[in-house]
Structure 1
Amino acid sequence: MAAEESRVHSPRVTVSFAGFNRAWAAWIGDRLERFGWQVIFQRWNPPVEVPLDVALRDLLLVEGRILVVLSDWYFKLGPRTDAEWNVALRSVVAPNAHRFAAVSVAAEPMPTAAAAFGGTTELWGIGAREAERRLMNVLGPAPGAVSTATLGGRGSPRYPHDQPHVWGGVPRRNIRFTGREETLQHVYDLFQRAEPGAGVATLLGMSGVGKTQIAAEYVYRFGSEYDMVWWVPADQRGTLRQRLAELAPALGLTTGPEYGERLRAVGDALRRGDPYRRWLIVLDGADDPGPIADLVPSGPGHVIITSQNREWAEHNTALHEVAVYDRDESVAFIRRRAPRIPSDDADALAAALGDLPLALDQTAGWLSDSQMSVAEYIELLSSGSDLDVGLRVAADFPMTYYTAFSILLNRLRETVPEAVELLRLCAYFAPGAIPVQLVRGVPAASLPEQLSGLMDDSLRWNAAISKLVQYSVIRWDTPDEESDPENTGTIHVHRMVHQTVRDGMSKDDQELFSRAVRRALSAANPGRPSDTRRWSRFAKVVPHLDASGALTSRDADMHQLIFHCLSYLYLAGEYSTGIQLAERTERAWRQVFGPDDPLVWDLASQKATLLRATGAYRQTERIDRQVIERLGVHRSPRDLTVLRAEEGLGADLSGQGRYDESLRVNQRVYDTYLELVGEHDPRTLNARHNLAASLRLLGHYDEALAADRHNLRARRELHRPRHTLSLNSEHDYALDLRLLGRYGEALSVMENSVQTHRLVMGRDNPQTITAELNLAMCVLRSGDRAAAHAQLSALLERAERVLGDTSPLTQAVATCCSFVQRAHGHLDLARALGERTMERYRTGLGELHPFTIGSRTNHALVLRAAGERQQSLLLIEECLADMSGALGDDHPWTLGIALNTAAGRNLEGDVEGAVELSRETVRRGVERLGRKHPLVLSSQVGLATDLRGLRLREEAAKVEEEALSGLISGLGSQHAHTVSARSRVRPHWDFEPLLT
């Protein structure tokens, strides 16, 4: 008796709870600890084979009191009957009432069996203070312990009725959720062990297995430990970016309306953990890691991914495989979904449906309302007599599911036919998230007769939606006006439901519903893809083009929509998604219109634009020449679409280093546009932009500057200063200034321009990365080498993540980063990075492309710094000959290599050869760039060094004095170049690729 008294009066309490009520248990435990109790948690989930009275008696083995958190879930875990509970409670709880206490957290009255716990205290539906007061009335302070009760302490679990500060897109809780306890606990434990930035878990499993339901249940069970929870449909990159951008106002971030600005601000806030460190983001349906892996948030919070793709293992995430239910879970779920079905029948039904959660949910849902017995249903399922004729079964979907869903659909058609018609309409959007504004945006004249009037009748609409939700055919998310005022709700259609509905439709019905959805997409065309404020609307449309049949449509409005979407994807930097869409559309149009239709060649030109951004210049040249030839025959060589393809050809030639050819093409296009549409037309301005790029690549920096200055002013007037085209001209104008040696002016332009790029287009947009590269080079040329080093290192990491290692832009950043690493003495890093870049240029562009030659020049400087001077000189001499052959003796790049070559000759004792080359370099530099250009002044500093080597001291002093005077007047007396020249440190030249 004394031992029993000691156990009763121990300050320990065991909180026994069903997993569904985990949030309540965590809050209750926290409150009890503040009143001196030592709390032990015990999740109630006894195995089915363990008798209920034995499981309850095991609770008595613990020391101290036992507090049971009661809800319907506590009693219904596993297929236990009320009779079993009554017997177990009478035999175990009643004789030990002094050990047990209970609180109810359920909205519904407790089953009669709960009376065995004595007076049960209600906690549901009251505030946190009252709940705490009632909890203390149940147990009171711990025996002999000092109370430290304070309400709402920092880091405490949130009161379960209080939602996290930020909450968006999370599906409603599935009150029938069953099982998966080990999976939920595994994910929770993984997150608790994870270091900041590494808390990413992927739920991996086949379609219909319940990955989304598990993720949603995790949110509700553990959501009290987070300050922010955000749910994101992640099947499309555009949709993912859109939903992340919508998080900005929810976080209270001060941003403008631009899409990119919001996306940047959200990424920074999550990374810093400001304003919330405890955040959870769910990326649902992320079945293709490639396009979206770089968008997975990083920081102190946690990320859950649901996917069917095992490739997520390669993207810094822990995989957890989700299988079908085990049989006990299946039976428990069926009995909760359809209480009239006894355990034996539930077992048989689960076996017939292969324990697949989606099939169990839908089938048990309608069987609960049906008079059909389980045995009759299984016979119907086995015979397949209710299966729609012509149904095609995908290899990765169980045949059983198709049969079960067809039976459900036929029964639903008998009771609420409008719901079936609405579902058929949804089947011609893409599976997953469907914005309601698109569904209800179908023009009335295009709606099938069965849906006439449904869209404008709220009662009929709600009735149809409710029935589909009731039978788990769709999931419905209510509007989230705070984060997206345009959102009128979202319908979620599971991929298996989507395919089954489509496959069961006749060809006539397929065309009817497909046409209706296409009309909705056409009506939703945002127009003007260059307007970044419209990108979020494009992101909602793009995922549905394929499913709607838009790619095979003959409608001119659909063609325009596809072209707009491709332009949006290009401008947003979504090159891979755009190329895939262009290729699918091209295949479809070739079949529909024939391979020689002008529309096919218009599309080919658009595809070439996307491919060119990835560096496929030879491929795009072939495409553009074919487009010019075919469209020139169908239309005219002066047709605007033909001229657009010629613009592309000019860029193709530039990309291959054929700058003279590119200049001729761009000049011809510009002259033609000027004649056809006038000086102020956007097409003329774009042609002048391309002409300036050709001039710049040929080293005619003054002419490029004049053209870009004109374009900048014209684009700002025609569009707006923050327009993407205006920002592009602003970048090029600053680039010209920098190449002319006007570093301070260039830096002042780019500092503001980069901020605007980030706000308007986002940090990860390729145009923003290009602008940041120019800014870093302005910083470097202005003399702040340490800041440039930091900027370029961070930029390279971002470019590789966003664009990949082989992107032309990434290669340019890597080249600049390499020579800055060398300047900082990091020779191993500089060599590895430079050699990798040099090899990629050689493989992609050829041995004699100016970029390949330039990267070899940089490599020669690394060799020199490493003490390999002879090998360095041999390589640099080769580079001088190759660049001279490629671009001529007077090109600035050739002059830069000559500067380095003269230094190499001097080091190896060929002083006379060095003087000869230095004199020629200065002479050519003055003729091409003028006496005040930094490259010319650096060549003079080098010449002075060589002259001193020949003991021509008087001439050397004169040349040196002229160079120093020029550097001081142009760059200032304290600039790094001036200080080095004054110290007689011989200058060198670094090659920087210039992108068009």
Structure 2
Amino acid sequence: MTDSAMPQEGGPQATGLRSKAVGGDVGVAITGDGTQVMMLPAEAVGWAKEAEAPPGAGNLPNSASGVFVGRESELAELRDLLVAEGEAAVTQVSGTRAIHGLGGIGKSTLALHYAHTHRHMYTLVWWINATSTEQIIASLASLATRLCPQWAATTGVHERAAWAILWLQWHPGWLLVFDNVERPDDLRHYLGALPDGHHLATSRTATGWHAIAPTMSLGLLAPDAAIALLCTLALGERRTPTPTQRQDAAALAADLGHLPLALEQAGAYLFETGTSLAGYREMLSDVMDTAAGGIDPERTIARVWHHTLIAIRQRNPQAITLLNAMAWLAPDDIPRSLLAPLFPDQRLLGEALGALHAYNMVSYSADRQALSVHRLVQTVLRNAGSQDGPPHGRHEAEHLVSHVLYPDGADEAAPLVQWQHLIEHVIALASSTPAGCATEQPPDFYQPVIAHLHEQCQDARAIPLHEAMLARCEEVLGDTDPYTLASRGNLAYAYQVAGHLRRAINLNEKTLTQREQVLGETHPSTLANRNSLAYAYSAVGEWGRAISLFEITLSQRKEVLGDEHASTLASQNNLAYAYEAVGDLGRAVPLFEDSVTKHEKILGYAHPRTLYSRNNLAHAYESKGDLRRAIPLYEITLADRERILGATHPHTLQSRNNLARAYQESGNFAQAIPLFETTLAQRVQVLGDTHPDTLISKNNLAFAYKEAGYSDRAIPLLESTVAQWEQVLGETHPDTLNGRNNLATAYESAGELERAIPLYEATLAQRTEVLGDTHPDTLISRNNLASAHFEGGDLTRAVPLFETVVAQSEQVLGNMHPYTLLSRNNLASAYDSAGDLERAIPLFETVLVQREQVLGETHPHTLTTRNNLASVYFKAGQRDRAIVLYEVTVAQSEQVLGNTHPDTLISRSNLAHARNATQAGQQGGTVPPTGKADRQRLMQPPAEDRGPR
């Protein structure tokens, strides 16, 4: 280095590694890892003291005028941290309870927005590329070029960097942003030499900062902010997303893990190409390295993480092997113990995890015994596999799971306690199976987990396991092997439980045809398949096809298996269930009673299937309106299940729910509501907060609150339950639509028709689209929408809707089906309200006769119609007939429902009103509200034969 002239005035001089110069006319800066002393000429030192930065001077790489959402609190926190510390803050990145320092989280974006937001508070804002020492020096040198171009053009990069340090020492109040620091120790010299400003650093590295500067944790975007960002980028700032687009955006944002860079990349691609949000999800794995307009090709998610992976591989190659294996597991709560077989000892495992954690590719749980990986990291890794072999890490992941399920290669699965906590990882492994991926797994590899989930009534969770198992069976055993057919039938059942009804039917039909060809018409497995198909038909409301198939199956099972075989009894139970569903209680109840008798004789009084059958008989009594027999039977069944299965077994919880509902039907809310509350608490504890059965319990409790008059408690519970249904099952799952319908009913009961009617309309439209125009649930929605218009006095809309429902019910369900009678009763009430007694009276008379015939003289619905008929008689001046009917209704209500049931009180009030009006010579009567057809009930499903497993 050429010696420079000594300064005119004395001042401190500095030499040696990481020396500092803080005043005088000689500027000395140590940049890099060697010992270098920069002796600056006097004129350069003078310019360093005298040069002033223009107002707002800086070199920020981008504008901050783009879309920026969800980071307002972080901006405020960063400002508070910098002001409080007075010197430096380092932004790191943390996933939501999971990932620290992951590339793409928005570190640089946050720093950039901070710099733009507060740039006028600083004398200078300078952006420094800090990926290496050389880059830091070059960035500082560019500051000298900006402020002292007349001298900087004549000297080298190290001299210019030294001049920049000297200028910063003379002019306090600046902000230096060190972007993408690879080695925290590289900043130590600059933080010590430059104390009179703010330093802000961003880094993928989570470790090494404790001795450098305080850190700030930056999390993933909140779901709402992620959705807003994605919609704004994809659709444009001036467009408001439709409900469907917002739903699709929520799903895509979740797939992208609410990672800002991934959202930005997706939004730009969607806006440029016009691809739909749903379409982008389908090709997600293929576009992670695609840069649309406005996106730097080097800033795609795949490219950013590629650089990180290179750095990790250089540090610890085994860490990459470990990360690739974790890519095929569930993203959260990966036990260290599960990963241990990949390493000969714990020390090597700890070192590999340390390398991954240092670059924020994994995060530890609080006790550091489990790990998490961002789900998008997994997506990128799974799709960056080898082209001439299995994808990277797949074989290792299968080995890890196999090591737990089948220790030491055993043929039998390990005890449940050894692998139960790994179920999510087994499901993830099955879900991520690549098409055509070679595997050594036997066809029944996932069978222990499938069986366990079935025992826990969680068949829907097992769908990926069924699909992987079926694919392996087809590959190894062939398309029509009995084991393959059984696997296909079990997958169809899981589809049905999950609400994928058409997929279930199609798969059942295909399997039945194959079983008939391979095994014969009356093979037990063929009969089981026929039973399953009938049950699938019933689930979509095709009762004619279902009953016909149930009858055939029962007849064939009696012939082949005998009258008292367990499968024959299951068919008898299913046929009785179908008869009950179409309102044919005259055939349903005797079949259920006979089923209970046979179960008790063959299996014993307390066998689970006997209890199952007894529960269904109790429900049939309830459907018949015979609560005096239903409630004691429910109580006995619950007591037996508590004793035999335990207080929190899923079947026990179902019995408790059903008993609570029966209490509710009888008007006994004092017993019903606490029982619903207990059942809900137990389901949350046993099954989890978002399990479908838990959501049904929430719905039932809310409905009980509504009927007891506690709308302030019912509505919030229903709203949260519908939101959870949408999240867990999807917007159009039958249970979600049921919940949405019930929420509308709660709004209506609270008098909030302005909220109820649009929700009824939306639910009707969705049920029409998903289930068809004449599905029973669709008819219920149409009836309830008509009832809401009726309650609001809009008879011009209510009457035509009721007439349509009656016509469709007669066509689809039959003239005497309970739903048909309910809709006919409601139409008569609408005629009555419109003053059209000529049509109301004969229709009420017809409905009364039909309800007496179908439901019985004292069924609650029969009592409602009798009360309504009495009211229209009174309005028509037929007072004597009216009073006689009221008297009969009151007596029967007191006998069947009890003296304090709401319907009894209404009937008694109407009778008193009629008597008083008659004595005073007045006209008029009161029509009590007609019942709603749709309530979400957790009815015990019929026993389902699933065939050989």
TM-score range, shorter chain: 0.5 to 0.7
Alignment match of 1:480 (pick from 366, 369, 388)? 366
Question: Following the alignment from structure 1 to structure 2, what is the Cα–Cα distance between the partners of residues 595 and 107?
Answer: 59
Equivalent residue, structure 1, for 2:458? 571
Cross-structure match for 2:572: 668
Residue of structure 2 aligned with 1:27, choices 76, 81, 84: 81
Whole-Å separation in 2 of the counterparts to 1:621 and 1:536: 33
Opposite residue 84 of structure 2, the aligned amino acid is D
Residues 523-562 of structure 1 mapped to structure 2, 5 A cutoff: 537-545=422-430, 553=440, 555=442, 558-561=445-448
The corresponding residue for 1:992 is 934
Matching residue of 1:173: 206
Q: Could you tell me how far apart the structure 1 residues matched to 2:774 and 2:830 are?
A: 22
Task: Please show how residues 700-711 of structure 1 align to structure 2 within 5 Å.
Answer: 708-711=634-637
Does residue 1:750 correspond to 2:715, yes or no? Answer: no
SS of equivalent to 1:45: strand
Provide the rounded CA distance (Å) in 2 between the counterparts of 1:913 and 1:506: 73
Shift of 1:969: 0.5
Q: Is 1:609 aligned with 2:691? A: no
Contact 1:621 1:653 in 2 (8 A): no
Q: How far is 1:890 from its partner?
A: 5.9
Q: SS of the residue aligned with 2:932? A: coil
| 1:681-728 alpha-carbon deviations (Å, 9 max, x no partner) | 545555665676677678787776666545433432333322333222
Q: Residue 288 of structure 2 contacts residue 380 of structure 2 at CA under 8 Å; is this kept in 1?
A: no
Distance 2:726 2:422 in 1: 28
Letter in 2 for 1:545: A
Q: How far has the Cα of 1:560 moved from its partner?
A: 0.7
Which of 85, 99, 118 is the aligned partner of 2:161?
85
Q: 1:989 and 1:364, CA in 2 relative to 1: closer, same or farther beyond 3 A?
A: closer
Separation in structure 1 between the aligned mates of residue 882 and residue 443 of structure 2, nearest angstrom: 72
Distance 1:559 1:957, change over 3 A: same
Distance 1:359 1:767, change over 3 A: closer
**Amino acid corresponding to residue 423 of structure 2 in structure 1:** F
Matching residue within 588, 613, 620 for 2:504:
620
TM-fit CA distance, 1:742 = 4.8
Separation in 2 of the partners of 1:108 and 1:674? 78
Choose from 710, 719, 735 the match for 2:661: 735
Deviations 1:873-892 (A, max 9, x none): 45535644654565566654
Once residues 512 and 365 of structure 1 are traced to their aligned partners in structure 2, the CA distance between those partners, rounded to angstroms, is: 19
After superposition, residues 929-968 of structure 1 pair within 5 angstroms as: 933-964=859-890, 966=893
- Cα–Cα, structure 1 residues 356 and 490, in superposed 2: closer, same or farther, change >3 Å? closer
Per-residue deviation, 1:593: 1.9
Asked whether 1:55 is paired with 2:152, we answer: no
Percent of paired sites with the same residue: 17
Conserved in 1, the CA contact under 8 Å of 2:406 and 2:414? no
Q: Give the structure-1-normalised TM-score.
A: 0.57
Question: Quick one: which amino acid aligns to residue 989 of structure 1?
Answer: G
Contact 1:803 1:810 in 2 (8 A): yes
Give secondary structure in 2 for the equivalent of 1:727. Answer: helix
Deviation at 1:660, TM superposition (A): 5.2
Structure 1: which 5+ runs fail to align? 9-13, 61-79, 122-137, 140-156, 161-169, 177-183, 205-287, 331-349, 370-411, 443-450
Residues 451-530 of structure 1 aligned to structure 2 (within 5 Å): 454-455=343-344, 457-462=345-350, 475=361, 477-478=363-364, 480-481=366-367, 487=370, 502-503=386-387, 514=398, 517-522=401-406
Q: Does 1:971 align with 2:901?
A: yes
Which whole-Å CA distance do the structure 1 matches of 2:459 and 2:339 have between them?
A: 28
> Quick check: 2:230–2:266 contact (8 Å CA) kept in 1?
no
Q: CA–CA distance in 1 between the matches of 2:230 and 2:798?
A: 53
Write the letter of the residue equivalent to 1:607: L
Q: Conserved in 2, the CA contact under 8 Å of 1:570 and 1:610?
A: no
Which residue identity does 1:937 align to in structure 2?
L
How many Å apart are 1:808 and its aligned residue? 1.0
Q: Secondary structure at the match of 2:690?
A: coil
Aligned mates of 1:634, 1:954 — CA distance in 2: 69
Distance change in 2, residues 1:296/1:749 (3 Å) = farther
Q: Secondary structure at the match of 1:173?
A: coil
CA distance 1:478–1:863, change in 2 (3 Å): closer
Partner of 1:598: 482
Shift of residue 27 of structure 1? 3.2
**How far has the Cα of 1:478 moved from its partner?**
4.6
Answer whether contact 1:552 1:592 (CA < 8 A) is retained: no
Map of 1:265 onto structure 2: none
Task: Tell me what 1:335 maps to.
Answer: none
Q: Which amino acid aligns with 1:571?
A: Q
Partner secondary structure for residue 127 of structure 2 = coil
CA distance in 2: counterparts of 1:296 and 1:425, whole angstroms: 18
Quick one: distance in 1 between partners of 2:144 and 2:349? 48
Aligned-pair distance for 1:945?
Answer: 1.4
CA distance in 2, matches of 1:653, 1:172: 57
Aligned twin of 2:737: 811
**1:649 and 2:534 aligned:** yes
Is the contact made by 1:566 and 1:582 (CA closer than 8 Å) also made in structure 2?
Answer: no
The one-letter code matched in structure 1 to 2:479 is: P
Report 1:263-662 matches (<5 A): 306=262, 310=267, 356-361=303-308, 419=318, 423=322, 426=325, 429-430=328-329, 435-437=334-336, 439-440=338-339, 442=341, 454-455=343-344, 457-462=345-350, 475=361, 477-478=363-364, 480-481=366-367, 487=370, 502-503=386-387, 514=398, 517-522=401-406, 537-545=422-430, 553=440, 555=442, 558-561=445-448, 563-564=450-451, 567=454, 571=458, 579=463, 582-583=466-467, 585-613=469-497, 615-617=499-501, 619-624=503-508, 627=511, 634=519, 643=528, 646=531, 649-650=534-535, 652-656=537-541, 658=543
TM-score in terms of structure 2 length: 0.59
Amino acid at match of 2:346: S
Question: 2:599–2:610: 8 Å Cα contact kept in structure 1?
Answer: yes
Q: Is the 8 A contact 2:768 2:778 kept in 1?
A: yes
Deviation at 1:901, TM superposition (A): 3.3
Q: Is the contact made by 1:699 and 1:892 (CA closer than 8 Å) also made in structure 2?
A: no
Deviations 1:398-430 (A, max 9, x none): xxxxxxxxxxxxxx8xxx8xx499559838945
Q: 1:45 aligns with which of 117, 121, 127?
A: 127
Residue deviations 1:807-860, cap 9 Å, x none? Answer: 111222233334444455555554443344334444544555433433333343
Distance 1:507 1:592, change over 3 A: farther
Q: Is the 8 A contact 1:583 1:607 kept in 2?
A: yes
Deviations 1:868-919 (A, max 9, x none): 6477445535644654565566654344334323323434555365444434
CA deviations on 1:214-252 (whole Å, 9 max, x unpaired) are xxxxxxxxxxxxxxxxxxxxxxxxxxxxxxxxxxxxxxx
* Partner amino acid, structure 2, of 1:173: A
Q: Structure 2 residue aligned with 1:900, among 826, 836, 840? A: 826
Deviation at 1:992, TM superposition (A): 0.8
Aligned-partner residue type, residue 161 of structure 2: W
Contact 1:617 1:656 in 2 (8 A): no
Structure 1 letter corresponding to 2:127: N
Displacement of 1:558: 0.8
**Judging changes above 3 Å, is the alpha-carbon distance between structure 1 residues 871 and 981 closer, same or farther for their aligned structure 2 residues?**
farther
